[in-house]
Amino acid sequence: MLLLKISIGIGLCLLLLGIYLHLFSDYMASLGITGIIISAMCFAFGMIFSLPTKMYLTFVLMQREADKRANKTKPQ
């Protein structure tokens, strides 16, 4: 679970960096095509690293469902 959280964090940071470089960085604009490629690569790797988000949410929801079932079957 910790590895998934780290991967999600890295992905979100790379996404934000890619957006910042593309929209707000004058240096990237001065680089021309190279600047566009750099910002696009940051965005692309951010998307790749944020893919485990779905897996993490699935694990959390499955754990909650298992806890609910355990509490229902447990005699009080």
The tens digit of pLDDT for each residue in 8-67 reads 899 999 999 999 998 888 888 899 999 999 999 999 999 998 888 888 888 889 999 998
What does the pLDDT read at residue 44?
94
What does the pLDDT read at residue 37?
93
Q: Which long-range contacts (CB under 8 A, 24 or more apart) does 14-23 make?
A: 14/42, 14/43, 14/45, 14/46, 14/49, 15/42, 15/43, 15/46, 15/47, 15/50, 16/46, 17/42, 17/46, 18/42, 18/43, 18/44, 18/46, 19/43
pTM over 0.75: no
Higher per-residue pLDDT: 5 or 19 = 19
Residue 75, pLDDT above cutoff 70: no
